[in-house]
């Protein structure tokens, strides 16, 4: 590890194999916490390269406990976090809307690390059991059409680094790896990212990993979501493409009004829960609009419809018909009966 720290101190980059070796040492607990902290902060200060992230990803996937979603078109909707804006849990709310539209959703997430409320926190507030075993998660896929995959249980080797991450309390490359290391090995993803150049990098890594249809987005107001307050840069590919396409998303073209970011801010898990439920109950306003925008593109990535207008209609119908709310209720029921980890 000292050799790798020396390279970072000289602002030199690691090869993919060196990055993989360093990651393997982290995953096996072969570093002292101080060394791990120095490694994470050194990379954060210099900026990670595609080769480094590819090496980290390769090893993190090797160590993951794999789950089967039972659907090759299953999708994950998640973000890197770390945008510092403290909105309500948009992607988690969106997951229920997308599931209500008939898409299998493999929601990979965690408790809060650098924000006030992570996806696991708000799901717990909703009465959903998140500490499920592999069998429990797969039962949710079969019986509820969606599942929450609690990252610490399916990436147990990350237990060696989690105390360091929590103590640092800042974004690190693990925020980048989480969304691209879903234990369901989904081939379709809508990922929010804290920075545009990192979004493009993540898309390139997923292209290397031969995903099917991916969008990695960063909005120009700073959100790691498709925003309704500003334009959003999207980097991705479809049908196992060979290159990354850059697109600027303007949600006004969907007929959605511009909003002020202050209208979608939230704090506690209780606040997040209440906003999520208000959206699923059909309450109009900025929270619903931004969820519908993200759900529209997620449904498109899932391949349910070819046209965005059909996807937009499907997202709205999921809410207005009560299907999104039913998806939440069904996941809660199944998760409480499924096999869990104490």
Q: In what order do the strands lie in the sheet with 146-150?
A: 146-150, 105-109, 75-79, 188-192, 213-219, 232-237, 245-249
Contact (Cβ atoms closer than 8 angstroms) between residue 250 and residue 231 = yes
Asked whether the beta carbons of 57 and 182 are under 8 A apart, the reply is no
Cβ neighbours around 177 below 10 Å, total: 22
Find tokens 């959903």 and name the residue: 128
Query: Is pLDDT of 276 > 90?
Result: yes
- In this predicted structure, what is the pLDDT of residue 115? 53
Beta-bridge partners for 77: 190
pLDDT of residue 255 exceeding 70, the answer is yes
Beta strands in the chain (DSSP E): 75-79, 105-109, 146-150, 188-192, 213-219, 232-237, 245-249
Q: Confidence band (pLDDT; 50, 70, 90) for 277?
A: very high
Per DSSP, the residues of 294-327 read HHHHHHHHTTS-SSHHHHHHHHHHHHHTSHHHHH
- Give the pLDDT score at 169: 87
Alpha helices in 14-161 (DSSP H): 16-27, 33-46, 50-63, 90-100, 119-125, 134-144, 151-154
How far, in Å, CA of 204 to CA of 237, rounded? 9
Q: How far apart are the first and last CA of the chain?
A: 34
Q: What is the pLDDT of residues 1-45, one digit of tens each?
A: 788 999 999 999 999 999 999 999 999 999 899 999 999 999 999
Q: What is the pLDDT of residue 123?
A: 95
SS3 label, residue 75: strand
Just give the CATH number of 75-151+183-337.
Answer: 3.40.1030.10
Tell me the pLDDT tens digit for each residue of 224-252: 999 999 999 999 999 877 899 999 999 99
User: What pTM was computed for the model?
Assistant: 0.93
Q: pLDDT by residue (tens digit) across 43-98?
A: 999 999 999 999 999 999 999 999 999 999 999 999 887 767 889 999 999 999 99
Coil vs helix vs strand at 106: strand
- Alpha carbon distances (Å) from 108 to 4, 59, 124, 247: 30, 18, 14, 25
Q: Of the candidates 119, 108, 92, 158, which has an alpha carbon nearest to the alpha carbon of residue 324? A: 92
State the pLDDT at residue 198.
Answer: 93
Task: In the chain, list all ranges with CATH 3.40.1030.10.
Answer: 75-151+183-337
pLDDT of residue 84: 75
Exposed/middle/buried for residue 262 (C-beta within 10 Å: 0-12, 13-18, 19+)? exposed
**Whole-number pLDDT of residue 191:** 98
Estimate to the nearest angstrom the gap between the alpha carbon of 288 and the chain centroid: 19
Q: What CA–CA distance (Å, rounded) separates 60 from 74?
A: 21
User: Which pLDDT belongs to residue 268?
Assistant: 84
Report the C-alpha gap between 324 and 238 in whole angstroms: 26
Give me the CATH topology for the region 2-63.
Answer: 1.20.970
Q: What are 106-128's pLDDT values in tens digits?
A: 999 887 654 557 888 999 999 99
- Provide the pLDDT for residue 112: 63
Between CA 44 and CA 41 the distance in angstroms is 5
Give the number of other Cβ atoms within 10 Å of residue 159's Cβ.
12
Q: Are 93 and 52 in contact (CB under 8 A)?
A: no
In the chain, CATH 1.20.970.10 covers 2-63
Q: How do residues 123-148 score in pLDDT, each as one tens digit? A: 999 999 999 999 999 999 999 999 99
Q: How far apart are CA 303 and CA 307, in angstroms?
A: 10
pLDDT in tens, 174-214: 989 989 999 999 999 999 999 999 999 999 999 998 899 99
Q: What are phi and psi of 188, to 5 degrees?
A: -130, 130
pLDDT at 114: 47
Q: Which residues are CB-neighbours of 115 under 8 A, at least 6 positions away?
A: 81, 82, 86
Computed over every residue of the chain, the mean pLDDT equals 94
């Amino acid at each position: 590890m000292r050799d790798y720290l020396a390279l970072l101190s000289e602002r030199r980059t690691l090869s993919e194999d060196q990055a993989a070796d360093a990651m393997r040492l982290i995953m096996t607990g072969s570093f002292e916490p101080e060394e791990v902290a120095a490694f994470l902060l050194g990379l954060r200060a210099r900026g990670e390269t595609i080769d480094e992230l590819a090496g980290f990803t390769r090893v993190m996937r090797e160590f993951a406990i794999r789950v089967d979603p039972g659907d090759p078109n299953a999708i994950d909707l998640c973000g890197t976090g770390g945008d510092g804006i403290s909105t309500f849990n948009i992607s988690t709310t969106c997951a229920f809307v997308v599931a209500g539209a008939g898409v299998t959703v493999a929601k990979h997430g965690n408790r809060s690390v650098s924000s006030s409320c992570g996806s696991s926190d708000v799901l717990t507030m909703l009465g959903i059991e998140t500490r499920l075993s592999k069998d429990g998660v797969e039962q949710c896929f079969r019986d509820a059409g969606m599942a929450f995959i609690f990252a610490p249980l399916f990436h147990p080797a990350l237990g060696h680094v989690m105390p360091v991450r929590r103590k640092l309390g800042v974004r690190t490359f693990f925020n980048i790896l989480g969304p691209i290391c879903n234990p369901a090995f989904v081939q379709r993803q809508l990922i929010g990212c804290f920075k545009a150049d990192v979004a493009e990098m993540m898309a390139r890594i997923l292209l290397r990993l031969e995903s099917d249809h991916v969008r990695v987005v960063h909005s120009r107001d700073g959100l790691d979501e498709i925003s309704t307050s500003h334009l959003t840069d999207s980097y991705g590919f479809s049908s196992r493409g060979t290159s990354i396409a850059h697109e600027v998303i303007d949600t006004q073209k969907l007929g959605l009004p511009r909003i002020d970011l202050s209208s979608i801010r939230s704090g506690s898990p209780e606040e997040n829960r209440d906003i999520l439920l208000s959206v699923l109950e059909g309450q109009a306003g900025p929270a619903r609009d931004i969820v519908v925008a993200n759900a529209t593109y997620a449904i498109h990535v899932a391949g349910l419809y070819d046209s965005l207008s059909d996807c937009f209609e499907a997202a709205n119908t999921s809410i207005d018909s009560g299907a999104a709310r039913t998806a939440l209720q069904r996941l809660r029921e199944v998760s409480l009966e499924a096999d869990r980890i104490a």
